[in-house]
Amino acid sequence: MSNKSGVILFSGTGSNLENLLKNKSNLDGKLIYKAAFTNNPSAKGLVICQKYSLDAVKSESNSLNSDLSNFLEKYDPDLIILSGYMKILPVDITKKYEGKIINIHPSLLPKYPGLDTHVKAISNNDEFHGATVHYVNEKMDDGPIILQGLFKLHNENDIDKIKNLVHKVEHIIFPIVVKWIAHDIVKLKGDAVYINGNRINSSIKYIIND
């Protein structure tokens, strides 16, 4: 099979973007990042794209979804990685690229789709918190879950500490999933995730010990 192509969509700081680019040699050339796209012309992630010589397309909000459609038509990627992309994808895009879009979200989905996930985990006295990598469907932060990284909260309520821990977990699990997809280890069939040809009935979990 020929190499796969990937594009990365981001909106902000881009620590996951940078981590994916840093880890690209682990993909053994099976997936090549072709370009990045952002809705935020002042996103810090743009500097990271420059550092890694990755073409980056910036869009303004009034033409965002048509710019994104054109970008995706141009690169025709096998994998679209939402790496802190803070905009909802239009349904025509989620349908057209079904099974090819993955997202990382800072909670243990299905808990806490949307914003303020750390605050919600604290106020519910959750035992565990973490991050989820999932296929994207037409609903926000929904879609079949591939891998979750989690850690014990230990009643921690310092948001910055928790945010750092979640980022740490994200920087572990996101490259793992991209590698699995690059190597055809993980696939979406219908709305089920298959790993090495076996359907998984609950997400795979990566537990960080402290």
Q: Where on the chain is the footprint of ligand GRF (CB under 6 A)?
A: 12-17, 83-84, 104-106, 131, 170
Q: How far is the CB of 82 from ligand GRF (least distance, A)?
A: 7
DSSP string, 60-86: -GGGHHHHHHHHHHHH--SEEEESS--
Packing angle, helices 159-182 and 15-22, rounded to 10: 40
How is residue 119 written in tokens?
């605050």
Residue among 64 and 86 whose Cβ is closer to ligand GRF: 86
Give CA angle at 34 (30, 36), nearest 5°. Answer: 130
Q: Which amino acid is at 26?
A: N
Q: How far is the CB of 172 from ligand GRF (least distance, A)?
A: 13
Q: Are 195 and 181 in contact (CB under 8 A)?
A: no
Residue among 70 and 120 whose Cβ is closer to ligand GRF: 120
What is the spatial order of strands in the sheet that 31-38 belongs to? 55-58, 31-38, 4-10, 79-82, 101-105, 128-135, 145-152, 204-207
167 annotated active-site: no
- Look at strands 79-82 and 4-10 and give their pairing: parallel
Question: Which H or E run contains 166?
Answer: helix 159-182
Residue among 192 and 207 whose Cβ is closer to ligand GRF: 207
Residue with nearest beta carbon to ligand GRF: 84
DSSP state of 154: T
Q: How far is the CB of 184 from ligand GRF (least distance, A)?
A: 25
Q: How far is the CB of 197 from ligand GRF (least distance, A)?
A: 29
Residue among 20 and 199 whose Cβ is closer to ligand GRF: 20
Catalytic positions, written as ranges: 105
